[in-house]
A = this chain, B = another copy of it.
Amino acid sequence: MLTLIYLIAITAEAMTGALAAGRRNMDIFGVTVIAFLTALGGGTVRDIVLGRYPIGWTQHPEYVGLVVAGGLAAVFVARYMKRLSRVFLVLDALGLIAFTIIGCGVAQSMDYHPVVVVMAGMITGIAGGILRDVLCNRVPVVFRQELYASVSFAVALLYLGLIKLGVPHDLNVLASFAVGLAIRLAAIWREWRLPVFMYRHDLH
């Protein structure tokens, strides 16, 4: 089931990535690249940082096909996506949680320290969006919007904690999704944000 959610999530991420590319008037090649990086960039950065070769998607060319198709499809259905924005927010939240759990699992299976396991989960969850924003030449929204990375952090902690407590894996995944989704949707609904740090001067 985690795999199914993962496949739906990377398709949804690819589609929202395509819209970001469209906001920069990119051509369909640019759309494809941004869709790919938004969907699969997080896992790529995680694998590179952990030294896990071969990188995930290189062994699953069907994932590449899926996100490219999703990105191109978004061009055609863009006019309807605004109306579906709530659906996409939910899919994006599901993706964030799935990516986080999968990323934690990868680092754990390589015997990394729990601190690195949590970071691997968060990298998988948010690095794709950071790459998308860097290539679209803007400050990553994940550094400024309502709770997003924090959801990934909370899910990673919860997932690791429940493993430590010996909770069965299926139940653990279910609890992580329930809690993660609840926090994320509440954060969108109530506009929960982390405190912002404003600084005016140049140090130098």
Chain B residue at minimum C-beta to C-beta distance from A143 = B30
Q: Does the CB pair B144–A135 fall under 8 Å? A: no
Other-chain contact of A194, B29, B44, B88 (Cβ < 8 Å): B29
Within 8 A of B (CB), among A18-68: 18-19, 21-31, 33-34, 44, 48-51, 53-55, 58-59, 61, 64-65
Q: Does the CB pair B143–A24 fall under 8 Å? A: yes
The reply on A16 being an interface residue by CB < 8 A is yes
Copies in the complex: 3
Q: Inside 8 A of A197's CB, which chain B residues have their CB?
A: 18, 21-22, 25-28, 31, 75, 78
**Size band of the interface chain A makes with B:** 35 or more
Q: Inside 8 A of A9's CB, which chain B residues have their CB?
A: none
Chain B residue at minimum C-beta to C-beta distance from A115 = B61
Q: Does the CB pair A26–B196 fall under 8 Å? A: yes
A residues lining the B interface (CB < 8 Å):
16, 18-19, 21-31, 33-34, 44, 48-51, 53-55, 58-59, 61, 64-65, 75, 78, 81-82, 85, 88-89, 112-116, 119, 130, 134-140, 142-144, 149-150, 193-204
19 contacts between A and B (CB under 8 A): A19-B203, A21-B197, A23-B199, A23-B202, A25-B196, A27-B193, A27-B194, A28-B195, A31-B197, A33-B143, A44-B49, A49-B55, A64-B115, A65-B115, A88-B203, A134-B135, A135-B140, A135-B143, A137-B138
